[in-house]
Amino acid sequence: MENAGLTRKQFDVLEALATSLAPLTQRKLEGMTGHSLGTINKVMKELGDRGLVDNSRITSEGLTALEPYRARRAIFIAAGFGTRLVPITFNTPKPLVRVHGTRIIDRLIDACLEAGIDEIYIVRGYLGELFDQLLYKYPMVKFLENPVYNEANNISSALVARYMLSNAYVFEADLLISNPAIIRKYHYTSDFLGIRKERSDDWCFRVRDGVIIEEKVGGEGDDIWQMVGISYWNDADGHKLSQDIQEVYNAPGGKERYWEQVPLVYRKEHYQVEVRECREEDIVEIDTFKELKAIDKTYDV
């Protein structure tokens, strides 16, 4: 895929230069991109010949070349009840639960804003009006209403947002992020965050050559990655998703699906989604009230 005239290696070097405040040596670029020093030297010459870098700095033309790869919007799937976090979710949607004084969703929104993503949509359902409180801090947020959140799985939220999925992040809105740098400004292709595991009992991916080939519950081996509910969809895949989500939703049993099963299971022949690595400490999914109490002792009363 070279939809903006950049090879993957050129993109990797340009992205590193664009996200660094200081000039980078070729040795530093080797460490940041994983490409060999010889490759870095060759790519820097290519980029220099095109006027995309100058004296180890990205030029305005280089930033323009990255534009088609820039994340433009973020979609938060936030309509569900949060059953496993009762009793606290009886009167508070899970993304609005505070951990150490900060709402869970705030950290995710802040990470988006830090990455230059300020077109933000929240798909809401359960106690939806309570999300209005976010507007005091985040006036740019727009809400999408999911009227069937209590009778369908989260594919119904993706259906509501299906026309906004190009150049877009999709978040499960109840993830507690501790490393905002995992939300990146530029992406070469569609990807899903994952944590490399020897064994997992959770939702996970099988991966071959960096590409997700299967989504399933539980697995072991050197090709297993635990799924993290944060993904990015490029322009072409976002347009395909708008149609595929509706078709899967309307098929028998479609309302019971999870939204990511559309590109990873039911229409996977239409997509080639890469896995993007993050670490255990970068993000935590708080599944139960017991886990919440373990993280934030103020709930342990």
Closest CA to 85 of 97, 76, 77, 101: 97
Q: So what's the pLDDT on residue 1?
A: 37
Q: What is the mean pLDDT of each run of 10 residues along the chain (301 residues)?
A: 72 92 84 90 93 91 94 96 77 91 96 96 95 97 95 95 97 93 95 93 92 92 92 97 97 95 96 94 86 86 70
Query: What pTM does this model have?
Result: 0.92
Name the residue with tokens 């088609």: 68
Residue environment code for 110-141, b if the CB has 16+ CB neighbours within 10 A, otherwise e: bbbbebebebbbbbbbbbbeebeebeeebeeb
What kind of fold does domain 8-68 have according to CATH? Arc Repressor Mutant, subunit A (1.10.10)
Q: So what's the pLDDT on residue 161?
A: 97
Q: Which ranges constitute the DSSP H helices of 115-168?
A: 155-160
Q: What does the DSSP 8-state code read for residue 273?
A: P
- The full set of domain ranges for the chain reads 8-68, 72-299
Structure-token pair, residue 244? 């595929």
Q: Which CATH class is domain 72-299?
A: alpha beta
